[in-house]
Structure 1
C-alpha cells in the first residue's frame, strides 16, 4: 500500500502541483510571518540591550497613581538627587538625562526622521569630558546655547556637516542652531530611523524641563558591585515619587514590551495565513476527490484482492502526507524569502529597522512542517474515507454512489439551522453595544459555516438565474450552466473558496468607507474653526508653545483664536484634565449643542462640561465642583453649561486665564482659529509663513483632520487587501482545479460534442462560461455576507462614534464582482485550452 501511494503521487503531477501551490502559499505566509516578526523583535531587543549596557541602575519619576500627590505628571528629578546618587556606596559615576520632542529639518525644509520619531536630548560630560551614550565621530560636543550635535544618520540624510546651521523646533517657534558635532549611538530610536539632536545640559533643561531638573538619572556601578546591591543603596536616598530599576530589569521590560508590540502584528498576519490555508482546504478536498474518482476502479480492484477499507483510506492519507511535506518544505523556503522581503519593504517605507541577522527559529520550522502536513492530511481524510466506502462491485461497474435524498435533507437542514442561528447571533450582537463583540464573532463563524453547508443547495437557483444571459451564447452557454450544477458539492466548494476572500474584502471596505463618512461628519459637526494648528510627529500630539497662539492672535487677518490648553487636575475627586480655552472666542470655533446653560457664562471659575461627565457625577447647571490644580492649589468651580460632547470636543472646558497660573509648564495641544476669507490655500500658506515655515507645525482644515484620521484606516485597508490577495490567488487555483476535474470527467462527452459539430472555439467558450458562472456565484455570496457583516460591525462602531453611518459604495461593490468575474476568466484559460485540444476519437474511447 505504501508503494502504491507513492506511485500515485507521481502519477498525477499536474493535479498535485496545484495542491502543493495552495498549501505552499499558506505555509509560506505562516513561516514568513514568524521569520519577519522574530527578526524585527530580535533586532529591536538587541538594539535596546546595547542602549542599557552602560546603565546599572536607572532612576526615574514614579508615575504610580497616588491620590495624595498633586495631579498630573510626577515631579522631575533634581540636581540634589543626582548628587546623592553618585555618592552612594558602590556608585562609580552618574549622569542626568533630559529629553523631548525636537524636529530637525533638512536643507529643503522637510522633516528629518519623520518615519519614526524626532527626539532631542542632553550631552552630559563625565569626569573625562565624555558622555558614555554618544561617541563623537566629527567635531565636538555642544557646550552652550546655539550649539547642537546631530546623529550621523540624520546628518547624512540632511547632507549636513560640522559648522552648518540647521533649522529645528522644540515646541513651535523655529530655532537656528549651529552643528558643532556629529555622533554615533546605540539609541534605538536612531537605529530605527529617528533623528536625535543633542544640546548642552543647561540648554536641554531649559527647553524640555526646568533648570536643574532631569527626566532620569543613570548610575554606573563600581567594579565588584552588583546591580541589585547598587539599587538597594540608591533606594535609601530616593525622594517621594521617584523609583529605581536595575539595567537588567530595564532591558527585560523593554524586551517584553517589544515582544508584546510584535505579538499583535504577528497575530493579525497569522490570521490571514489561516484564511489562505482555510481556502486551500477546499482545493485539497477537490483535488483528492478528483484523484479518488480517477482511481475508482483501481481502488475497487484493491478491495477485491483483499485490501481493507482502512488500508484504502491510509493510502490516500499517505499521498496527502507526502504532498503536505513537500508543500511545507517549499513553503518554508518561500517564507524565509517573504520575511526578508517584508523587512526590506519596511525599510523602504522609512520605518528603518535596526541591523541584525534573519532569524529562522526552530519553532518556525516545526510550525511550518506541522501546518503543511496536518492541513493536507485532514483535508484528504474525507475523500479517502468516501473512496473506501464504495462497494468494489459498484466501483468496477462505474456505478458511483450519489448522495441520497435523505443525506441531502439532513445536510440542508443542518445548514439552514446553522445559518439562521449564526445570523440571529450576529444581529443580537449588533444590538448589544460594546458587549456584543463576542456574540457577533461567534455568530459570524456559525453563519459562514452554515452558508458553506447550504452552498450546494443555493448553487442551483442562483446559477439558474444566470440562464437568460447564458442563452445569448447559444449551446456553449446552455452546456456551461448544466455543467456548473452537475456536481453541486464540488461547485459549491470552489465558489466557497472565493466567497471567503470576497466576504472579508467587502466587509472591511464597507466598514472603512462608513468610518470615513462618520469622521468627516464628526469634524464638520463638531468644529466651526477654519484652521487647527498643532505640532506634528509620528508618535501623536506634541506640546505646542503658547507663543504660537499669541503670534496668531496678533495677525490682523485672524478674527477669532483659542488654544486648547490641557492642565492636569483633580476634578470632583477624580484625576482628570481641565482644558483651558479663550471664553470669548470658543463659541465661534466649536459647534456643540447645550442641554443646559451656554458658553456665555464661561469665565473665571465657571466651566462648561460635556453631558457624559455631567451624568457620571450627577452635575447640573449651577453645581459646585471641588478642584485641585496641578500645583496642589484647591478651589471651587461652578458649572455654567452642559453640552453634548462628541469625539472632537469633550471634557471640562475652563478659562485659560484660570488654569495657566497653576501649570508647571504652559503648553497647548492645538490652536483653533477663524480667518478672513475662510479655509483657503492662500490663508493656509499665510499662516505657515507667519509661523516661520516650520516643518514640525501642522496647519489643517477640518477636511485635513478628517483625511489624516482616515489615512490610517486607508493604509490598514490597503495592507489587508494585499494580505487577502493571497486568499484570492488560492481561490483561483481552486477554480482551475475544479475545471480541470470537470474536463477530465467529461472527456468522452467533450469528444462526442466535437464529433457532432461543436468546434474548438465552442468548447473553450463552454469551459470559460462555466468558470465565469462558478466565480460569480462565489462573488455574489461573498458580497452578500460582506455587506451583512459590515453592517453588523458598524453597529458596534456607532456606539463609540455617534456620527457613524452605513455607506455602501456601489461602484466598489461592482468592482469586486468584476474581480470575481476576472478570476473566473483567468482560471479558465488552461482548462479551456486543454479541453479544446482533446482528440475527439481518443476522448470518445476513454474509460
Structure 2
C-alpha cells in the first residue's frame, strides 16, 4: 500500500500541483511571519541591550510617584543624589541623564526622523571631559544654551557640518542652535534611522526636565564589583520614598520582554491571516482529493477486492496527502524565509525604524511550518479517504458511484441550518450588548460554518438566477449552468474558498468606511475652530505657541487644551484646562443638562459618562486635589455628550494653571477672521517660524488624516487577504482542470456532435465565471452583514458612527470575483479545447 500510494502521487503530479501551491502559500505566510517577527524582535533586543552596556545600576523615580501618576509632591533625582551614588563602594562613575523629543530640520526645513525616533539628550562629560557614550567624530562637546551636537548618521544624511546653524524644536518654538560637534553612537534608535541631538546638561535639564534634575542616574561598576553588590550599596544612600535602583541586566531583560510582548500582537495578527489562507486551502485540498478518489474508484475497488481493508485504503489516501503536505511545507518554509527578509526590507524602505541584525530562523519556526503543512493537508484529505474506503468494491468496479443519499443531504442541510441560525442569532444578540465582542465573534464563526455547509443547497437557486444571462451564450451557456450545478458539493467547496476571502474584505471595508465617516462627522460637528495646532510627534506643546497665536491680528479666538492629573475622592482623574472665555466659540458641545455658560472660577462642565458614574448634576460640588497637592472645589455647571475629541472635566486654565508644576499644552484651537483659507494657514505657519515640528490642521486636514490612516490600514489588510484570494484562484483552477479531465469523454462527444473549440472554451469559462460570482455574492452579502453588526457595537462608544455601504468598492469586489473566474479558466479551457475528440471518447 505504501508503494501504491507513492506511485499514485508520482502519477498525478500535475493534478496535485495546485494543492501543493495552495498549501505552500499558507505555510509560506506562517513561516514568513515567524521569521519576520523573530528577526525584528531579536534586532530590537540586541539594540536595546547595547544601550545598557555602560549601565550596571540605574536609579529612577519610583513609578507610582512619577509625574504621570496621581497628584502630589514629585521626587527629583538631583545632583546631590548623583554625587552620593558616584561615591558608594564599588562605583566607578555615575552619569545623570535627561531626554525628550527634539525635532531636527533639514536644510529644506523638513523634519528629520519621526515621532519617538527623533530624540534629544544631555552630553555628560566624565573626569576626562569626554562622555564615553558619545565619542566625538569631529568638533567639540556643546557648551551653553545655543550649542548642540548631532549624531553622525543624521548629520551625514542632512549634509550638516561642524559650525552650521541648525533649526530645531523641542516643544514648539523654533530654536537656532550652532552645531559644535558630530558624534558616533551605538544607540539603537539612531541605528534604526532616528536622530539624536545632545545639549550640555543644564540646557537639557531646562528643555526636558527641571533645572538641576535628572530623569535617570546610571552608575558604572568598578572592576570586580557585581551589579547586585553595587545595587545593594546604592540602596543604602537612596531616599526612602523617592527613588529605586535597578540592575542593568534586569532593565535589559525587562526591555527585551516588553519588545517580545509588543511583537506578539503583530505576530498574532499576521498568523491570523496565515490561518485564513490555510483555511481557504483546506477547501482546495479536500476538493482535490475528493476528485482524485472519484477518478480512481475502480482502482481502489480492485485493491479492496484483492484483500485491502478499508483502513488500508484510507491510509493510502492519507499517505498521499502526507507526501504532498511535506513537499508543500518544505517549499513553503523556503518561500517564507524569503518573505520574512522581504518584509523587513519593506519596513526599512518605508522609513520605519528597524535596527540592523541577522535574519533569525528559529528551530520552532521550521517545526511549526512542517507541522502546519503536513497536518492541514492530511486532515483535509481524511474525509475523502474515508468516503473512498466505504464504497462497496462491486459497485465501484461497475462504476456505480455512491451518490449522496437523501438522508445524508437532509442531515447536512439540517446541521447547516442549525449552525447558521445559531450564528445569526448570536451576532444579532451581540449587537445589543455593551461588550459583545466575544459573542459576536463566536456567532460569526458559526454563521460562516453554517453557510458553508448550506452552500450546496444554495448553489442551485442562486446559479439558476444567472440562467437568463447564460442563455444569451447559446448551448455553451446552458451547458455551463448545468455543469456548475451537476456536483453541488464540489461547486460549493470551490465557491466557499472565494467566499471566505471576500467576506473578510467586504466586512473590513464597511467597518473602516463607517468608522472614518463617524470620526470625520465628530470632528466637524464638535469643532467650530478653523485650525488645530499641535506637535507633529503628539508630544506636549510649549505655552509660548498659544501666546504667539493669541497675539496675531487675524485670530479672533483661541484656546490651549491642557491636561493635569488630579484626585477626586480616592480616584485619579485628569482635568482639562481651556480658555474659558473663548471655549464656546471654538467648540460645539451637546449639553444634556445645564449649559456651558462662561467657564471661570470654580465652574466646570463634565461629560455625560463621568457624570452618570459619579451621580453628578448641574450644581454638584466636586472636591478635588490638584497636581500640586492643594485642595479645591469645583461646581458642575453643565453635563455634555463626550466624544474622542473632548471629554472629561473641563475648567478654565486660569483656575488650573496655578496648580501645574510645568505648563504644557496638548493642542491649541484657533478661530480666525478670514476662516480656513490657504492665505490664513500660510500666515500661521510663518508666525510660528515655519516650524517642521508643529502641525497646523484645518477640518479638511483632520478628515484627510483620518482617511489616510484608514486607507493605509485597509491597504495592508487587503494585501494580507490577497493571499487567501490567490489560494481561492488556485482552487478554481484546480477544480476546473480536474473537472475537464473527469469529463474528457463528455467533451469529446460534444466535439463530435458539432460543438467547436471556441464553444468548449466558452463553456468552461462561463462555468468558472458562474462559480466565482456565486462565491462573490455570498462573500459580499456576509461581509455587509458582519460589517453592520460590528458597527452596532462600535456605535455604542462612537455616537457619531454612521453605517456606510461602499457600493463602489463592493462593485469592484464583485468584478474582482468575475475576473478570478475568467483568469482561473484560461488554462483549463485551453486544455479542454485541445482534447483529441476520438481519444477522449475512448477514454474511461
Where on the TM-score scale, by shorter chain, does this alignment land: which range? over 0.9
Report the equivalent of 1:30.
30
Shifted more, 268-277 versus 114-123: the winner is 114-123
Q: Which residue of 1 aligns with 2:87?
A: 87
Distance in 2 (CA, whole Å) between partners of 1:766 and 1:232 is 83
1:8 aligned onto 2:5: no
Give runs of aligned pairs for residues 62-81 of structure 1, distance below 5 A. 62-64=62-64, 71=71, 74-81=74-81
Alignment of 1:764 onto 2:761: yes
Q: Does 1:57 align with 2:54?
A: no
1:527-566 alignment runs, 5 A limit: 527-537=527-537, 541-566=538-563
Deviates more, 1:407-416 or 1:224-233: 224-233
User: 1:255 — aligned with what?
Assistant: 256
Matched, 1:186 2:186: yes
Structure 1 residue 284 corresponds to structure 2 residue 285: yes
The Cα of 1:646 is off from its aligned counterpart by 1.7
Cα 1:601–1:682 change in 2 (3 A) is: closer
Is the partner of 1:196 in helix, strand or coil? strand
Contact 2:72 2:628 in 1 (8 A): no
Choose the corresponding residue for 1:699, options 692, 696, 701. 696
For the residue of structure 2 that corresponds to 1:567, the secondary structure is strand
Q: CA deviation at 1:65?
A: 6.4
Confirm or deny: 8 A CA contact 1:115 1:193 kept in the other structure: no
Q: Residue 177 of structure 2 aligns with which residue?
A: 177
Q: TM-score, normalised by structure 1?
A: 0.98
Please report how far the alpha carbon of residue 712 of structure 1 lies from its aligned counterpart in structure 2 after TM superposition.
2.6
Comparing 472-481 and 791-800, the one that deviates more = 791-800
Cα distance between partner residues in 2 of 1:619 and 1:352: 47
The alignment yields a C-alpha RMSD, in angstroms, of 1.5
Question: How far apart are residue 70 of structure 1 and its match?
Answer: 6.1
Classify the secondary structure of the residue corresponding to 2:715: helix
TM-aligned CA deviation for residue 285 of structure 1: 0.9
Alignment of 1:834-845 (within 5 A): 834-845=831-842
Q: In structure 2, what is the equivalent of residue 136 of structure 1?
A: 136
Confirm or deny: 8 A CA contact 2:101 2:116 kept in the other structure: no
Compare 464-473 and 154-163 and name the one that shifted more: 154-163
Match of 1:673 in 2: 670
Gaps of 5+ in 1: none
**CA gap 1:338/1:116 in 2 versus in 1, 3 angstroms:** farther
1:831 equivalent among 820, 824, 828: 828
SS at match of 1:138: strand
Q: Given the alignment of the two structures, is residue 611 of structure 1 paired with residue 624 of structure 2, yes or no?
A: no
After TM superposition, the structure 1 = structure 2 runs for residues 438-449 of structure 1, keeping only pairs within 5 Å, are: 438-449=438-449
Where 2:619 maps in the other structure, the secondary structure is coil
1:488 paired to 2:498? no
Partner of 2:198: 198
Is 2:354 the partner of 1:353? yes
Structure 2 CA distance for aligned equivalents of residues 311 and 69 of structure 1:
68
What is aligned with 1:99? 99
Q: CA deviation at 1:225?
A: 1.7
Q: Secondary structure of 1:562's match?
A: strand
- Contact residue 235 and residue 244 of structure 2 kept, 8 A: yes
Deviation at 1:24, TM superposition (A): 0.3
After superposition, give the CA deviation of every residue in 1:146-177 in whole Å (9 maximum; x if it has no partner). Answer: 11111122112211111111110011110111
The alpha carbon displacement at 1:73 in A equals: 8.8
Measure, in 2, the Cα distance between the counterparts of 1:845 and 1:492. 30
**Residue number in structure 1 paired with 2:385:** 384
Question: How far did residue 711 of structure 1 move?
Answer: 2.8
Q: TM-score, normalised by structure 2?
A: 0.98
By how many angstroms is 1:637 displaced?
Answer: 1.9
Give, in angstroms, the shift of residue 184 of structure 1.
1.6
Once the two structures are TM-superposed, the CA of residue 806 in structure 1 deviates from its matched residue by 0.8
Alignment map for 1:244-643 (pairs within 5 Å): 244-434=245-435, 436-537=436-537, 541-643=538-640
Tell me the distance in 1 between the aligned counterparts of 2:69 and 2:323.
67
Please report how far the alpha carbon of residue 644 of structure 1 lies from its aligned counterpart in structure 2 after TM superposition. 2.1
- Within a 5 Å distance, the mapping from 1:731-746 to structure 2 comes to 731-746=728-743
Q: Contact 2:189 / 2:355 at 8 angstroms: preserved in 1? A: no
Describe the SS at the equivalent of 1:636.
strand
CA distance in 2, matches of 1:473, 1:75: 83
- State how far apart, in whole Å, the 2-side matches of 1:402 and 1:208 are: 78
Match of 1:795? 792
Cα shift at 1:67? 13
1:809 aligns with 2:810: no
The C-alpha deviation readout for 1:67-122, integer Å capped at 9, x for no partner, is 99961794331111111111222211101011111100111111101275211100
Report if aligned partners of 2:65, 2:242 keep a CA contact under 8 Å in 1: no
What secondary structure does 1:108 align onto? coil
Q: Match of 1:238?
A: 238
Q: Do the aligned partners of 1:70 and 1:632 also contact (CA within 8 Å) in 2?
A: no
Match of 1:659 in 2: 656
SS of 2:644's equivalent in the other structure is coil
Query: Would you say the 8 A contact 1:36–1:343 is kept in 2?
Result: yes
- Preserved contact between residue 63 and residue 73 of structure 1 (Cα < 8 Å): no
Q: CA deviation at 1:66?
A: 9.4
CA contact (8 A) 2:99 2:208 kept: yes
Between 1:624-633 and 1:518-527, the stretch displaced more is: 624-633
Query: Aligned partners of 1:171, 1:78: CA distance in 2, in Å?
Result: 23
1:713 shift after superposition = 2.5
Tell me the distance in 1 between the aligned counterparts of 2:275 and 2:673.
Answer: 56
Q: Write out per-residue CA displacement over residues 247-298 of structure 1, whole angstroms, 9 at most, x where no aligned residue.
A: 0110000000000010000000001111111111111111111221221111
Measure the CA separation in 2 of the matches of 1:562 and 1:167. 27
Change in CA separation of 1:587 and 1:779 when aligned onto 2, cut-off 3 Å? same
